[in-house]
Chain A
Amino acid sequence: MHNKSVAELSRELESGKISSVELTQQFLDRLKQEDGKYNSFITISDEQALAEAKSADEMRSAGKATVWTGVPFAHKDIFCTNGVRTSCGSKMLENFVPPYDATVTEKFKAAGAVCLGKTNMDEFAMGSSNESSFFGAVTNPWGLSNGEKRVPGGSSGGSAAAVAARLVPAATGTDTGGSIRQPAALCSITGLKPTYGRVSRYGMIAFASSLDQGGPMARSAEDAALMMNVMAGFDPKDSTCIDRDVPDYTATLNEPLKGLRIGLPKEYFSDQLSPTMEAQVRNAVREYEKLGATVKDVSLPNANLAIAAYYVIAPAEASANLSRFDGVRYGYRCADPKDLMDMYTRTRAEGFGSEVKRRILVGSYALSAGYFDAYYLKAQKVRRLIQQDFINAFKEVDVLMSPVTPSPAFIQGEKTTDPVSMYLEDVFTIAINLAGIPAMSVPAGFVDGLPVGLQIIGDYFSEARLLNAAHQFQQVTDWHQREPQ
């Protein structure tokens, strides 16, 4: 059963061959047996999962089943789950049990899906390797057979590793600068970062509020579409959510791609990209040509400014968002504070890890008196230039294609001593968050046995078209079906 897709599991449950309680128990048993190798989960919530499975079976007997009813999945440990610990990968929230559900959590519950637990992640979603988690690094299932412990990418590395290792058929993720797409690419799964405002951020612990967006991580575009059907939609509780109709994302998966205009941004095929990776990405583009697409080179002239703009905007917003962790209302508090200032400063020094502290300090610096215009305001202006590049490109083409990462999954510990080298991991993904447009990562081959991702970037609210393009590619390739040994 663990090898079946969401769509297949849904049909098994529908046919009555297996109940959700049986299915859930099978997945829980396998998860506990296997996850020691990967550390992809922070919390396995057996009790709640089995209770949800029981309700799902009842929902089905009452004739109220949806596609998701009784199907197991997992949430990134950034989505608040009422009664189940939500740590965000941090000591600060090591014992935090939210008294409410995120909107995304609520929607999966309403659909009858069964959440097996919470997946590991970089602390507060800050990282590209899942090594900054308080609960330990996650190991990529790919490369393990050679005895190598490679990173799964981050920050949604637990979700990516769990889906790749077939521990769950699908999991939620969040993407602020590449945190769905980069781990999806390094673990050979399918991930989608939706348009900013398409999925509610309510109850999704905030990192950089103008960039954060939740999205699906699954084994195929079809399953990602099924997840989007649950996740997308307006939410009055998120003040930046967009009130706009949600299509059925599965309805257009089979549209032919004849005439699809693909642009290749020349800045994303630069010398930062390893030649073997480039060959795989270009092979994938050739598959699209066979499917009737046309290809041309385009330019995103301000692409080289994206990392710099991001590392002002994201830390600045993080420093404001993370000011809520003060040891007063919930979360960690230091022992024996001697006064209020001591309590704040030690609680935050002890509760946050080093990468989180670095970003809070950079952000506080960029926002401090005398520096605001030079840093934050300047970065917001550059952000508009970057957005304008994409708007111009989409006047000529329907989608853009590029690599997701400059190189395949690296060995654990390789980049932890130099924060800036880690930041460059996101060189091809970060501009998409600044512009707020949607983009996917789709499995597109291997280099030395390690996965390569193809990034498909679309205009605002073009998620259905991206999923269609990914699904058609997955009808003529089998990269997404390959399993780590």
Chain B
Amino acid sequence: MSISRADIEKVAVLARIKVDGEQVSALEKDLGNILDLVDQLSAADTDSVEPMAHPLDAVQRLRPDVVTETNQRQAFQSIAPATEDGLYLVPKVIE
């Protein structure tokens, strides 16, 4: 199965990864090959098969609604690219 340049450009925006023209050409080939590999799935008869998410079909556990973690904002923000007054800084979003 092939994937078009337009598809690659669209999915790159969805994935928030900048790609340039030359990269799109390389990705067209590589992603096309990967999708060819994956296409074998369509031959499998899965009509009455339940999809499997956890090998042991475990479900999400619940825990008591109590505070178990302490606030470590300072430690966590010490490794951030840019912070100010306890806030994470990003380029201006609202004019």
Residue numbers of A with Cβ under 8 A of B are: 96-97, 99, 195-197, 210, 236, 239-240, 242, 302, 304-305, 307-309, 311-312, 319, 323, 326-333, 337-346, 348-349, 352, 357-358, 360-362, 364-366, 368, 374-375, 377-385, 387, 418-420, 423, 435-437, 460
Q: Judging by beta carbons under 8 Å apart, are B41 and A379 in contact?
A: yes
Q: Judging by beta carbons under 8 Å apart, are A327 and B46 in contact?
A: no
Identify which of A242, A308, A333 contacts B81 (C-beta below 8 A).
A333
Q: Judging by beta carbons under 8 Å apart, are B42 and A378 in contact?
A: yes
Q: Give, as a whole number of angstroms, the nearest-CB distance from B72 to chain A.
A: 7
Identify which of B8, B10, B40 contacts A308 (C-beta below 8 A).
B40
Q: Judging by beta carbons under 8 Å apart, are B37 and A420 in contact?
A: yes
- In the complex, what distance in Å separates the CA atom of A240 from the CA atom of B58? 7
Chain B residues with CB under 8 Å of A357's CB are 17
- Known contacts A242-B58, A329-B76; 9 additional CB pairs below 8 A are A197-B58, A242-B56, A329-B80, A330-B79, A339-B93, A345-B12, A379-B38, A380-B52, A423-B37
Closest to A358 in B: B30
Identify which of A210, A319, A342, A358 contacts B91 (C-beta below 8 A).
A342
Q: How large is the interface on B (under 10, 10 to 19, 20 to 34, 35 or more residues)?
A: 35 or more
Closest to A304 in B: B40
Closest to B17 in A: A348
- In the complex, what distance in Å separates the CA atom of A99 from the CA atom of B44? 46
Q: Judging by beta carbons under 8 Å apart, are A309 and B76 in contact?
A: no
Q: Judging by beta carbons under 8 Å apart, are B40 and A361 in contact?
A: no
Chain B residues with CB under 8 Å of A195's CB are 55
Q: Judging by beta carbons under 8 Å apart, are A365 and B11 in contact?
A: yes
Chain B residues with CB under 8 Å of A99's CB are 72, 75-76, 78-79
Those of B54-82 within 8 Å (CB) of chain A: 54-56, 58, 60-61, 63, 72, 75-76, 78-82
Q: Does B22 contact A (CB under 8 A)?
A: no
Q: Judging by beta carbons under 8 Å apart, are A343 and B46 in contact?
A: no
Q: Give, as a whole number of angstroms, the nearest-CB distance from A163 to chain B.
A: 28
Q: What are 21 pairs between A and B in contact, CB < 8 Å? A: A96-B79, A99-B72, A99-B76, A308-B41, A312-B41, A319-B15, A326-B16, A328-B88, A329-B80, A333-B82, A339-B91, A341-B16, A358-B31, A362-B35, A365-B7, A366-B38, A378-B46, A379-B38, A379-B41, A381-B44, A384-B50
Q: Give, as a whole number of angstroms, the nearest-CB distance from A411 to chain B.
A: 22
Q: Judging by beta carbons under 8 Å apart, are B44 and A460 in contact?
A: no
- In the complex, what distance in Å separates the CA atom of A339 from the CA atom of B7? 24
Q: Judging by beta carbons under 8 Å apart, are A349 and B41 in contact?
A: no
- In the complex, what distance in Å separates the CA atom of A384 from the CA atom of B56? 11
Closest to A302 in B: B44
Q: Judging by beta carbons under 8 Å apart, are B16 and A311 in contact?
A: no
- In the complex, what distance in Å separates the CA atom of A375 from the CA atom of B35? 10
Q: Does B6 contact A (CB under 8 A)?
A: no
Residue numbers of B with Cβ under 8 A of A are: 3, 7-8, 10-19, 27, 30-31, 33-35, 37-42, 44, 46, 49-56, 58, 60-61, 63, 72, 75-76, 78-82, 88, 90-93
Closest to A362 in B: B34
- In the complex, what distance in Å separates the CA atom of A344 from the CA atom of B76? 20
Q: Judging by beta carbons under 8 Å apart, are B18 and A346 in contact?
A: yes
Q: Give, as a whole number of angstroms, the nearest-CB distance from B20 to chain A.
A: 9
Q: Give, as a whole number of angstroms, the nearest-CB distance from A220 to chain B.
A: 28
Q: Give, as a whole number of angstroms, the nearest-CB distance from B79 to chain A.
A: 5
Chain B residues with CB under 8 Å of A242's CB are 56, 58
Q: Judging by beta carbons under 8 Å apart, are B16 and A348 in contact?
A: yes
Closest to A373 in B: B51
Q: Judging by beta carbons under 8 Å apart, are B80 and A328 in contact?
A: yes
Chain B residues with CB under 8 Å of A418's CB are 33
Q: Judging by beta carbons under 8 Å apart, are A364 and B11 in contact?
A: yes
Q: Judging by beta carbons under 8 Å apart, are A239 and B61 in contact?
A: yes
- In the complex, what distance in Å separates the CA atom of A302 from the CA atom of B6? 34
Q: Judging by beta carbons under 8 Å apart, are A460 and B82 in contact?
A: no
- In the complex, what distance in Å separates the CA atom of A460 from the CA atom of B57? 13
Chain B residues with CB under 8 Å of A308's CB are 37-41
Q: Judging by beta carbons under 8 Å apart, are A196 and B51 in contact?
A: no
- In the complex, what distance in Å separates the CA atom of A150 from the CA atom of B57? 40
Chain A residues with CB under 8 Å of B39's CB are 308
Q: Judging by beta carbons under 8 Å apart, are A348 and B18 in contact?
A: yes
Q: Which of B17, B49, B72, B79 has the most CB of A within 10 A?
A: B17
Q: Which of A97, A308, A361, A418 has the most CB of B within 10 A?
A: A361
Q: Judging by beta carbons under 8 Å apart, are A382 and B41 in contact?
A: yes
- In the complex, what distance in Å separates the CA atom of A345 from the CA atom of B16? 5
- In the complex, what distance in Å separates the CA atom of A67 from the CA atom of B50? 45
- In the complex, what distance in Å separates the CA atom of A362 from the CA atom of B14? 11
Closest to B74 in A: A99
Closest to A333 in B: B81
Q: Judging by beta carbons under 8 Å apart, are B80 and A349 in contact?
A: no
Q: With A99-B75, A329-B88 as given contacts, are A381 and B52 in contact (CB-CB < 8 Å)?
A: yes
Chain A residues with CB under 8 Å of B27's CB are 358, 361
Closest to A336 in B: B91
Q: Give, as a whole number of angstroms, the nearest-CB distance from B88 to chain A.
A: 5
- In the complex, what distance in Å separates the CA atom of A368 from the CA atom of B35? 14
Q: Judging by beta carbons under 8 Å apart, are A345 and B76 in contact?
A: no
Chain B residues with CB under 8 Å of A328's CB are 80-81, 88, 90
